Chain A
């Protein structure tokens, strides 16, 4: 391993540091009773704040211009009719009313949720299984880690092309392989019922990044616990279920949340494979929410309506992540809670 510090290691170092002492004396919480500052100290403190602000200024400007203002303006736009050419006209909640009755919104939202519900459990389960396997690889682990991560380097647009090629109903590699076992594979790329499973399957190819995260977590599971369980006669699967899983439930849960947020915003692979860049619809089964939003905003220039769509997406992401956080309180085990 290189000198790459894990977040835990870096955090530990941070907490050891004495707060707010010395030349840079700042407003640390660990300070003793309030003593009036000498003028030179006050000057120092002001200088610290100014220096810090200088270093932070790129982010502060970026936050104001590219996050805070867009959030506010997007909210405003969602209450207007705006086609870029003419000035926005205020229409109140009209966009939201339209959105509630738009069959394409229901379609796209349904597609996206179904895709995410299929993808996330499979993705996380597969990551965990592969990480467990990799954990047992011994000295050849380095080679396999590298091999597993390689697909993550493929540009998503090329993954979209691969979807069309490998999952092709007639002569695609997948169905050819299924044919060896006497299975007549479905038309993954054209049959509406199979398009989403096909995209999920293809997404599993890029599971390597999550495997590496879980592998790092597995190395942190105390061996004494596993050995004790073994002494008590627990087999591999019971040890995994009762010891390893709870010990890595934090990272597992983290992957569930991150993948859910990503899944709800799926765009490139599905867009590449199923939609022409010159407008028009591809297959309805691949119309994901981010694609519909993109079309409304940048192909039809319904900026107001698209902003309302963006806020609905935000609410959906927030609601689902919130539910997951609530559930995690019961399921996830944190070392610090002991």
Chain B
């Protein structure tokens, strides 16, 4: 697969027509005017891509830059602040328990990513390794739950947590992960199905039980998929606003997206415009995700292309 992608990439890079039909390395050199034309096309393509990249990246840079600007300068649209200050970060820190919110978010994120990845992997393994009557039907049911709008189950789910006395705790934000999630089950099952079955049979002959085959062989072997699931869920949990909005009441339990929303209401919605505080809080909310992306970009970018729904 990697070889095919590489060859297609080389062909797309401007080798003349016919080059792709033969092996790329053996292609005859294209005629000169062709070469000139492909060069122009290449410059145009890269120029356009560069422009789009600028559009995609600029808002980040703008946001980070604005967080260092004193009040009133936020909208001056300079990339390098006329006067740079750390005051906004100090203000945010004093105005709101940001450190606590960040800690809360980390706790919720780690718990939901850990639980949902493990449980989804268990279920995916159950669907890919064992063969039993009704397996297809049951898996169809898993897929069907992906189509159901969240609004339908939202209220009864709230009532379940309410009856357990767990509203206004962080438990509802991650405990659903204990039961797996259809999207990740689907994703992980694809990987498990791609593994050669013989190695598991060999392990069984050597006396390995169901659990140790799963835990010590299958799971390590599908590390890319496990990492991808973790990354997707970390992102989903970190950025979730609706869940905290529904379940959390006390400010000291808030996660950082809800905290940002509260700061927005307090510093902009109320009419006393202090955009620099909100901008800085946005940077604090976003930066961990950007960091995560740069750490896991290989998994993210390849995984999104291979996964249904693009990590939604």
Interface of A is mostly: helix
A290 touches B151 (CB 8 A): yes
Stretch at the interface among B80-88, B91-99, B289-297: B289-297
Stretch at the interface among A102-110, A240-248, A258-266, A326-334: A258-266
B123 touches A58 (CB 8 A): yes
CA distance A81 to B53 in the complex (A): 52
CA distance A317 to B151 in the complex (A): 11
B242 interface neighbour in A59, A154, A267, Cβ under 8 Å: A267
A219 touches B5 (CB 8 A): yes
Tell yes or no: B207 within 8 A of A by CB.
no
Known A13-B193, A66-B179, A149-B301; contact A258-B265, beta-carbon cutoff 8 A: no
A65 touches B160 (CB 8 A): yes
Proximity string of chain A (284-324) to chain B, C-beta cutoff 8 Å, 1 when within and 0 when not: 00000010011001100001001101110110010001000
Known A14-B193, A71-B153; contact A23-B285, beta-carbon cutoff 8 A: no
Which residues of A, 54-71, contact B by the 8 Å Cβ criterion?
54-56, 58-59, 61-63, 65-67, 69-71
Tell yes or no: A168 within 8 A of B by CB.
yes
CA distance A258 to B52 in the complex (A): 24
Known A2-B299, A27-B132, A310-B151; contact A205-B241, beta-carbon cutoff 8 A: no
B17 interface neighbour in A3, A137, A230, A262, Cβ under 8 Å: A230
Tell yes or no: A92 within 8 A of B by CB.
no
A212 interface neighbour in B59, B156, B225, B310, Cβ under 8 Å: B310
Stretch at the interface among A32-40, A45-53, A93-101, A190-198: A45-53
B59 interface neighbour in A45, A148, A151, Cβ under 8 Å: A151
Proximity string of chain B (55-72) to chain A, C-beta cutoff 8 Å, 1 when within and 0 when not: 111011011001000000
CA distance A13 to B311 in the complex (A): 23
Proximity string of chain B (168-200) to chain A, C-beta cutoff 8 Å, 1 when within and 0 when not: 000000001011100001000011011001000
Q: How many residues of A contact B (CB 8 A)?
A: 126
A152 touches B75 (CB 8 A): no
B155 touches A51 (CB 8 A): no
A310 touches B149 (CB 8 A): yes
Taking CB as reference atom, which chain A residue is nearest B310?
A209
CA distance A149 to B49 in the complex (A): 13
B304 touches A155 (CB 8 A): no
A154 touches B123 (CB 8 A): no
Proximity string of chain B (126-138) to chain A, C-beta cutoff 8 Å, 1 when within and 0 when not: 1101111101001
Taking CB as reference atom, which chain B residue is nearest A154?
B286
Taking CB as reference atom, which chain A residue is nearest B48?
A133
A130 interface neighbour in B52, B135, B246, Cβ under 8 Å: B52
A223 touches B20 (CB 8 A): yes
Known A161-B278, A213-B305; contact A1-B191, beta-carbon cutoff 8 A: no
Taking CB as reference atom, which chain A residue is nearest B76?
A171
Interface of A toward B, CB cutoff 8 Å: 1-7, 9-11, 13-14, 17, 19-20, 22-28, 45, 48-49, 51-56, 58-59, 61-63, 65-67, 69-71, 73-74, 77, 84, 130, 133-142, 144-158, 160-162, 164-166, 168, 170-173, 176, 205, 208-210, 212-213, 215-216, 219, 223-224, 227, 230-231, 254, 258, 261-262, 264-265, 267-268, 271-272, 276-278, 290, 293-294, 297-298, 303, 306-307, 309-311, 313-314, 317, 321
List 20 other contacts, CB 8 Å, given A2-B302, A165-B74, A297-B155: A7-B307, A10-B193, A11-B190, A14-B193, A26-B130, A55-B126, A56-B127, A59-B123, A66-B179, A135-B12, A139-B9, A150-B290, A153-B290, A158-B286, A165-B275, A205-B59, A212-B310, A223-B8, A277-B261, A298-B245
